[in-house]
Structure 1
Amino acid sequence: MAVPESTRAAYPHARTTAYNDPLKGVYYGPGCVSDALPKLLDRLGAKKALIVTGKSLSQKTDVIKKVEEILRKRDAYGATFIDIGQHTPVAGIDAGLKQFKEVGADVIVAVGGGSPIDAAKAILYFHQQETGGETLKQIAIPTTLSAAEYSNGAGYTNKEGVKTAVSSIDIAPAGVILDAELTVSTPERLWLSTGIRALDHAVESLTRPLVPIPVKYMFYQAIADLFTYLPLSKAEPSNITYRQKLQIASWMSIWPIQFPKYSAIGLSHALGHKLGAAYGIPHGITSCLTLAPVVALKAALPPPASTDEDKEWLANSLFYLRLESTGSKAGDVKKLSELIAKLVVDLDLKSTLEEYKVPKEDLPTVAELAVGVKGHPLHDVIVKLLQQL
């Protein structure tokens, strides 16, 4: 029997999917760090760890002390490096690499949000470049919902203040520990806004090239859980059950896939990277600013800028949110954008570019950097979008 042309169009060529090769395990559950960290050290054959984190987590909470104690019991504690700032300035990476070598560490335990986890990836990347040997490993213990622990790219800010990145399958964390008890001291705005960042991952990945179809259905569950548990977590900040469900939703929002070639997440992420690095806007807040307007733009744009298939993937989110269709794909995508905008408001995360002192005259450059080329057909449309933020 002949295969219909419509089916061939939907599946243009055979695909295979691999998961991040270094990943040896994801442990989750309240209090699991005590058992999970020693198990991962054994699995990796690691002898001495450098903890990489930020100043606030180290100086204002007992989270780092708990991790240090676990490592000391194993005689695996090397040192704690805390000079990692927002958006991962390269100076912190250089200093972290220096301390990594000085203490003779063979593994990094990164604790915190996306900045220390990305810093750890970059440190390991540059260490391998210097030594020419194997890439050493990272164990990630996230305390936010940004999901940096599942990617093999490390974004950081160079000396010129421009966001740049290194990428290698070998620098993806070899182990991830999702212990909700360690997130209770995370500031509310950071916790909730990185939840919107996870929502950004899930929503934009529905139309991301090369994402396997079964994984997209996992994104729908992530979207549903984030819409459900972010407001509940705001109402009950100490509820560990809600926090654990959000950590798992964050995991589902991006899933550790090894792409055969580069696959950009989407316009909301691209704009967020440029705005964040240049103007000091936290990544969670950039998603609060850009995700809903970008989804609305997807609803309005005609093919090929926004295909019917893309609209269908986004529109189907309403089913998983237990909401009725508006009767059209474009209408459903518009409704999704409105729901995202309302969630941001309900979480008290609404802000503007003006609050972060982003000059209006800079917006054409931001748009150009986000799309990566001059003369992009959507440049003016994106500038108009930015002007409304």
Structure 2
Amino acid sequence: MAQRIILNEISYHGFGAINHIPEEVKKNKFKKALICTDKGLLEFGGVSKITDLLDKENLAYEVFSDIQPNPTIENVKDGVEKYKSAGADYIIAIGGGSPMDTAKAVAIIINNPEFSDVRSLEGVADTKNKCVPIIAVATTAGTAAEVTINYVITDVEKDRKFVCVDPHDLPIVAIVDPGMMTSMPKELTAATGLDALTHAIEGFTTKAAWEMTDMFHLKAIELIAKYLRSAVNNEPEGREKMALASYLAGMGFSNVGLGIVHSMAHPLGAFYGTPHGIANAIILPTVMEYNAEFTGEKFKAIAKAFGVKHTRTMSPEEYRKAAVDKVRELASDVGIPNNLKGIMDIKDLDFIAESALNDVCTGGNPRDTNLEDIKELYKKLL
């Protein structure tokens, strides 16, 4: 069977990468941008780093910042109207997953108006046209939305998140500048870093994984194991390496999918507002244990990427335990809780578990699962 890889046409990496935005705008002869971002980045100066560059070159834009941390259907609808009223012909998405996910949905609907019902984008939507051009500027090292064909929208009425997968939504330019990430607080750095690790480990072990994506994921795991603690301490090298690690993980999982860590995290975000990275980080080690016997020798490679010695002479039970222990150790070191106490209420178990089972990510899990297994995993985490 042939394998497919979809990546950005162009990406810029490293400190100062944002300086390439004006040349990309001019090269593409874009006229006016809709800047999709959030109020926090607008208030604390993240957006001005980009608008200053645009102003210097007399490049037109309008700002849309009414985007929630878990972007909603209404956010998308408002963004579509803002794009139209602004007379924009491209989008600059500045932020983590929320502004980028919103930008993708807006950009798809603009060029595929038959999907104006945002819920119709769930799963693999049969859109016909590429989205309007997006320049994606990452401000976190975790979601990798700048390089993925996925986005997630919250349906507030139904207390659920839904995942959209569409090759037509990929940003044409990705800007991965660690300088845009230095103002992230420690807690957010840790959460997004563990989100990137979840992408890498789930992508590495998913049913669709293959040699090329394995390469991306293993390098991402190695970098995160080595540099996340440094990034949490806001050290420049740590920031730069985590930005790269997040992008590498995105290059992989966008093309092969994820598993039930994400399936179980999504309803927590939709129902309780739990930050996605925190939910993933808490759930990851427990699901790794659940999947371990269905991953062949992959956990040996994960343990090695974490720096575990003598993995070649270890039994499967030993290297699987070593891999899980290293993930738990890293999460603990950067201040991630080890359970869902205070986050999830047991009375909501049936609804949360059913939402997780029906999530689009469930099909990629290396171990086939069922409702009772997912309930037991949640109970274990409580």
Indicate how the Cα distance of structure 1 residues 258 and 284 shifts in structure 2: closer, same or farther if over 3 A, else same. closer
Secondary structure of residue in 2 paired with 1:216: helix
CA distance in 2 between partners of 1:151 and 1:348 (Å): 27
Given candidates 268, 275, 281, the residue that maps to 2:261 is 268
Deviation at 1:351, TM superposition (A): 5.2
1:25 aligns with 2:22: no
Q: CA deviation at 1:287?
A: 1.1
Paired residue for 1:42?
26
Match of 1:63, SS state, is coil
Residues 82-137 of structure 1 deviation map (CA, whole Å, 9 limit, x = unaligned): 11111111211111111111111111111111000000001111112228975211
* TM-score (ref. length: structure 1): 0.86
Normalising by structure 2, we get a TM-score of 0.87
Is this contact kept in 1: 2:151–2:164, CA < 8 A? yes
> Which of these residues, 111, 115, 118, is aligned with residue 98 of structure 2?
115
State whether residues 49 and 79 of structure 1, in contact with CA within 8 Å, keep that contact through their aligned partners in structure 2: yes
The Cα RMSD (Å) is: 2.2
Q: 1:140 aligns with which of 91, 116, 136?
A: 136
Q: Hey, what does 2:273 align to over in structure 1?
A: 280
1:258 Cα deviation from its structure 2 partner: 7.0
Structure 1 residues 71 and 311, CA, compared in 2 at 3 Å: closer, same or farther?
same
Structure 2 unaligned runs (5+)? 115-127, 360-367
**Retained in 2: the 8 A contact 1:202–1:220?**
yes
Aligned 1:140-179 pairs, distance under 5 A: 140-145=136-141, 146-160=143-157, 161-179=159-177
Corresponding residue for 1:51?
A: 35
Deviations 1:282-311 (A, max 9, x none): 111011111111101112x5xxxx2xxx23
Partner of residue 350 from structure 2, selected from 360, 364, 367 = 364
2:199 aligns with one of 197, 201, 216 = 201
Contact 1:150 1:256 in 2 (8 A): no
Gaps of 5+ in 1: 1-13
Q: 2:230, 2:160 → 1: CA distance?
A: 36
- Aligned equivalents of 1:44, 1:331: Cα separation in 2: 54
The residue identity in structure 2 corresponding to 1:39 is E
CA distance in 1, matches of 2:321, 2:348: 28
Partner SS, residue 62 of structure 1:
coil
Question: Contact 1:169 / 1:258 at 8 angstroms: preserved in 2?
Answer: no
1:342-376 superposed Cα distances (whole Å, 9 cap, x missing partner)? 111110111542322x2202223322322229xx8
Tell me if structure 1 keeps the 8 A contact 2:217–2:252: no
Q: Describe the SS at the equivalent of 1:177.
A: strand
Q: Secondary structure of 1:111's partner? A: strand
Q: Name the residue aligned to 2:332.
A: 345
Structure 1 residue corresponding to 2:314, chosen from 309, 324, 327? 327
Task: Tell me: CA distance 1:83–1:102, structure 2 relative to 1, closer, same or farther (3 Å).
Answer: same
| Alignment-mate amino acid for residue 244 of structure 1 | E
Kept in 2: contact 1:206–1:314 (CA 8 A): no
SS of alignment partner, residue 91 of structure 2 = strand
State percent identity of aligned pairs: 27
- The secondary structure found in structure 2 opposite 1:348 is coil
Shift, 1:204, TM fit = 0.7
Check 1:312–1:44 CA distance in 2 against 1; reply closer, same or farther (3 A cut). Answer: farther
Provide the C-alpha distance between the structure 1 equivalents of 2:145 and 2:132, rounded to a whole number of angstroms. 18
Letter in 2 for 1:359: D
Give yes or no for contact 1:49–1:109 (8 Å, CA) kept in 2: yes
> Shift of the alpha carbon at 1:377?
5.5
1:244 alignment partner, one of 240, 245, 248: 240
**Structure 1 runs, 4 residues or longer, greater than 4 Å off:** 131-134, 256-259
Larger radius of gyration: 1
Amino acid in structure 2 at the alignment position of 1:295 = M
